Structure formats: C-alpha cells, structure tokens
Structure 1
Amino acid sequence: MADRLRIRLHAGEQHLLQRLARVHGRAAPTSIRSTAAGLAYSLSKLSAAAIPFVLLPVLTSYGAAPALAVVSVAMALLATLVFTSPPAPRAPRWT
C-alpha cells in the first residue's frame, strides 16, 4: 500500500513540475527571462560578499542572538517581498 501511494505521489509531482515548467517558460520572452536570471544571480553573489561585512561587526559587538536576529529580519523582509509581489502574467494556452 505504501509503495503504491509513493508511486502515485511521485507521478503527481512529475505532472505538476511539467505543468509549472510549461507555464513559467512562456511567461516572458527569453531576453527578459535571461536578464532577470542574470540579475538575480549577480545580486545573490553581491549579497553573499557583503554579508560578512555586516554580520561580523554585529556578532563581535553584540553576540550571536542579535546577529541571528539580523538574519531573521532579512529573511522575513524577503519573504514579504516575495508573497506581496504581483503574480506573473498568465501565459497563453496552447491547445
């Protein structure tokens, strides 16, 4: 019984991922998607380089709890931005 359920869940996952890939692949032209991906990659590298310069002074001056609080606030801010951003435009249906 458990094996059957696991196979069904796996097949459902594959179907969902295929549908998501089809929708998001056509949500914007390739040039816009590639620019957005490059910008996201560059910003992630820039933030990874800046984090030690922000967190180490907080860690040495105030301790671990405030440093973790800074990280928590940053993650909460990013989650808020993600969940409040407008949805992607709907892609045309190809039937």
Structure 2
Amino acid sequence: MLLLCLKSISRKEVHYGIYATMEQVNAAGDLCAICQEKMHAPVLLRCKHIFCEECVSEWFERERTCPLCRALVKPAELRTFGDGSTSLIFQLF
C-alpha cells in the first residue's frame, strides 16, 4: 500500500489530456508535430492529437488550443457548466 502511495505522489499529473498508448502513438506516426522528433512521454489531447508532453506544455504557456486543429483545450479537472443552470459558486438566494 505504501509503495502505491509513493508511486502516485511521484507520478507527474497531466492536466490537459492523458498519456497516449503505444498503439495510439504508432497510429499517429511517432513524430511530434511540434518538435518533429520521436515522441517522448506522448500526451493525447481531447481532440485526439498526440504531442510530446514537454512540447505541448511549452505550447500551453502561450496558447490554450491544440497546435494542429486549434480546438480549445481545457484542463481535465476543470468542470464546465455550459447550460447556465448550475455554477461552481455557492449561492445563498
């Protein structure tokens, strides 16, 4: 149990996508569209594009969109309430 806790603490969280599987990386061509090199720690965004974690992290410091399709990329833990019927703010009235 302690070993699992230590692994989860030491593992770096990806807040804007998930780590891609080898099958997904091979299907995408194994080259990062940003650095044009073999992918290191590939991250799959919600729009299904895959990039090196370091490259896409640097990109997200300037833009919050996918470098290829320009789709808006929101952090994974961010909840959105698009219909306006609820909010994250506690209301007293």
Greater relative contact order, per chain length (Cα 8 Å cut-off, separation 6+)? 1
Q: Tell me, yes or no, whether TM beats 0.5.
A: no
How high is the TM-score relative to the length of structure 1? 0.21
Question: Larger % of helix: which?
Answer: 1
